[in-house]
Amino acid sequence: MKRTRSVVRGIGSYLPRRKLTNQDLEKLVETSHEWIVQRTGIEERHIAEDDETTSVLGIKAAEAALADAGLTANDIDLVICATSTPDYTFPSTATMIQTGIGMTHGAAFDLQAVCTGFVYAVATADKFLQSGSHRRALVIGAETFSRILDWNDRTTCVLFGDGAGAIVLEAQEGEGTSADRGVLTSHLRSDGRYRDKLYVDGGPGSTKTTGVLKMEGREVFKFAVGMVADVVQDAFKATGTSAEELKWFVPHQANKRIITASADKLGIAPEKVVITVDRHGNTSAASIPLALDAARRDGRIQDGDLVMIEAIGGGFTWGSALIRW
């Protein structure tokens, strides 16, 4: 039975100009390169300059994705930006990206699911395209987490970086099987009881301030490895596929130990796992599209490959999407 699929037409990314290495951090807080690498796998991250706002990063990633797709802003009718670090409370960062790429039609909105934001955004765009209401969507993950860090807290400031990634999804007719190109299935979950494990201690409706990130790292690690497997297994079940058939596993890039432990629990071979956390740090909603773009540009991800994206974020939120590239 034929059905509409959301096919990836193009992908792009952007990283801020400034790199911050572990050796640089040794001069700011009491830490060491060895300690950071041993516990996280991170060696460096990119930090946005004052003129590199979240929308600026998103615009550059969106332009790269459009160029890769061979399309222009006129070909897009939906923009979704996943971010927890918007330029302003409002208007949405998505509308600023819309304007930045020269688009004056269609719809644009932000989506907030923290580190799971890009997966949520892909799932949301897929529903719009399947419904027939829109033809092509620009899906962006963009973050400037360096703006909400306590740079005196060595347990959190070493973890995060800034960046943006984007994909163009296009509605195309498929055969309705797992051999189709495009988003084959998506599975989203959340549980607000875990709010205190990972959150920002401010906001316009509470403290009237931006606040800074707070995290119970050990608890987040346990949850990420122990409970997030359900959405990946649900994706395999929904499509009749398996870890053996998977070509690439592209999880949220939070911590190398979480990534390897999760892949091991799911029975995914190490050589199928895309890891960029060593170069990017944790870029929240931007991490998956940044990793996808890196693997596409270096020739790993090829047309027809079965790719699983998966993430967990504050809330907790978590989710997966299985995509035939």
Strands (E), 61-161: 78-82, 107-111, 136-144
Do residues 111 and 92 lie in contact, with contact meaning Cβ atoms separated by under 8 Å? no
Q: Give Cβ neighbours of residue 81 (< 8 Å, ≥ 6 apart).
A: 58, 92, 93, 94, 97, 108, 109, 110, 111, 121, 140, 141, 142
81 is catalytic: no
134 is catalytic: no
Tokens representing 78 are 């939906």
Tokens representing 142 are 């963009």
Catalytic, out of 134, 252, 255, 280: 252
Catalytic, out of 22, 134, 280, 282: 282
Catalytic, out of 81, 115, 157, 280: 115
Q: Rounded to whole angstroms, how far apart are CA atoms 273 and 260?
A: 8
252 is catalytic: yes
Q: Give Cβ neighbours of residue 227 (< 8 Å, ≥ 6 apart).
A: 318
Write down how long the chain is: 325
Alpha carbon 74 to its chain centroid, in Å, reads 25
Do residues 212 and 201 lie in contact, with contact meaning Cβ atoms separated by under 8 Å? yes
* Residue numbers annotated as active site: 115, 252, 282
